[in-house]
Structure 1
C-alpha cells in the first residue's frame, strides 16, 4: 500500500511538473514598465511615485505625429500613467490631497496641459472623463540637448520644498512643478 501511495504521489507530481513546464509566457513588452520615485534623500520614504510604460521612438517622429497634438495622451504606453502622492502636494499652484491619480497630458507644440484624474487602473486614454479631473495646469515645452529613445520620467529638485517632474522623449522636455 505504501508503494502504491508513493507511485501515485510521484505520478501526480510529474503531471504537475509537466503542466508548469508547458506554461507559455508572453515576450517582453515592447514598452516596458518603469517606476520613478522622488525621495528627499536616498534613505527617506518616498514623497511621489510614478508608474508608467516607456514607448520607444524606433525612428518615428514623436510629438505631433505618433502622439498627436491637442489630444489627451496616457503619458506613456499601455496602461495610463499613475502617480501617487504620499502627502498633500501643490500641483503647480493647485493643492492636491495625498492619494493615487492618473496622469494624463495634452501635448501641444509650445505648451502641455497636465491633468490629474481620479480614474485609476485604466488602459490608455480611451475611457478618459474630464469630469473626473482633480486638477489641470499648463506648462511650457523645452528642448533637451540629447534625444531620448525611450519616453522617460525623472525628478529634479529645485529647492527644499519644490521639485520638477520632467517628462522627456526625443528632444522634448516638459517640467511639471510640485510643492511638498
Structure 2
C-alpha cells in the first residue's frame, strides 16, 4: 500500500505585502499595502495610467488608519480607517490622493463614487535624480505636531503634509491636569512640552521649579531640563548653574551618555556666555 502526500509550493509574491505602524504626536497611524516593482518598466503614464483610479499599490486596495483626527494638506480628516486610492494627473503633473470609505471592495476601482470620498487632496510630482525600484509608502519628517506621508516609485516622489494637531490637544490636556493636583511628573512633562513647542517659557519655568525646587537635590536629566528652560528664558547664569549641577550628578550616578550630554550642554552655555 502506497501513501501519497500533496506538497504545497509557497512562491514569493510579485508584490509583497507590507505593514507600517507609526506614532506621530498622539496619533497612531497604520498602513497596509502591497509593493509592486518597476522591473525596467515606465510607471506613471504606463503601468499606472494617467487620469485613472489607482489602488495606490497592488493586489488588495491600500488601507490607512488614524486613531485621532488629523489634517492632510491642511484639510481635516476624521479618525478612522480608509482605503487609499489615487489618480495621477497628467495636466497638473501630480497625484490626487483619495481617502475612501472602507468597504468590501478588494482591489481596483473603475470609477470613484463621490459619496464615499472622505477627503481628496493633491500634491505635485517631484522628479528624482535616481529611480526607486519598489513602490514605497513612508511616514517621514516626524515632529510632535506632524509628519509627511510620502510616496516614491520609479523616478517620482509625492509628499503630503500631516498635521496631528498635538499642541491644541496637549494644551487642553495640560489645562485639565493642572487644575486637578498635578504630580511632579505632570509638572515636568508640561514644562518640557512648552519648552519644545516654544509656547510660554515663563509658565514652563514656574512648572519646572514646582517639579524640581532648588531646596532639593535632583537627577542629572532633571537639572538638564531646568537648564534648557532657563536658557530659553535668557537667564544664562541660572542655566549654567543647573547644567553644572546636572554634570556633577551625571559623573556620580550616570553613565557615559549622561556625562557626554551634560558636558555638551555646559560647553555650549559657557561659549555663549
TM-score, normalization by structure 1: 0.79
Match of 2:109 in 1: 126
Match of 1:102 in 2: 83
Query: Is 2:136 the partner of 1:152?
Result: yes
Q: Note the residue ranges of structure 2 that are not aligned, 5 or more in a row.
A: 165-273
Tell me, yes or no, if the aligned pair for 2:149 and 2:162 is still in contact at 8 Å. yes
Partner Cα separation in structure 2 for residue 99 and residue 74 of structure 1: 19
How many pairs were matched up? 159
Partner Cα separation in structure 1 for residue 123 and residue 50 of structure 2: 14
Query: Once the 2 structures are TM-superposed, how far is the Cα of residue 90 of structure 1 from its aligned partner?
Result: 0.9
| Cα 1:121–1:53 shift into 2, 3 Å | farther
Partner Cα separation in structure 2 for residue 65 and residue 100 of structure 1: 30
Partner Cα separation in structure 2 for residue 141 and residue 124 of structure 1: 24
Partner Cα separation in structure 2 for residue 145 and residue 121 of structure 1: 39
Q: Larger RCO: Structure 1 or Structure 2 (Cα < 8 Å, ≥ 6 residues apart)? A: 1
Match of 1:92 in 2: 73
How do residues 30-179 of structure 1 correspond to structure 2 at under 5 angstroms? Answer: 30-40=14-24, 47-109=28-90, 110-126=93-109, 128-157=112-141, 159-179=143-163
Match of 1:8 in 2: none
TM-score, normalization by structure 2: 0.54
| Cα 1:144–1:39 shift into 2, 3 Å | farther
Query: Once the 2 structures are TM-superposed, how far is the Cα of residue 65 of structure 1 from its aligned partner?
Result: 0.6
Partner Cα separation in structure 2 for residue 145 and residue 160 of structure 1: 31
Query: Once the 2 structures are TM-superposed, how far is the Cα of residue 23 of structure 1 from its aligned partner?
Result: 5.5
Q: Note the residue ranges of structure 1 that are not aligned, 5 or more in a row.
A: 1-14
- The structure whose residues are more often helix, as a share, is 2
RMSD value, Cα: 2.2
Partner Cα separation in structure 2 for residue 101 and residue 28 of structure 1: 27
| Cα 1:153–1:121 shift into 2, 3 Å | farther
Tell me, yes or no, if the aligned pair for 2:24 and 2:142 is still in contact at 8 Å. no
- The structure whose residues are more often strand, as a share, is 1
Tell me, yes or no, if the aligned pair for 2:24 and 2:145 is still in contact at 8 Å. no
How do residues 6-45 of structure 1 correspond to structure 2 at under 5 angstroms? Answer: 22=6, 24-40=8-24
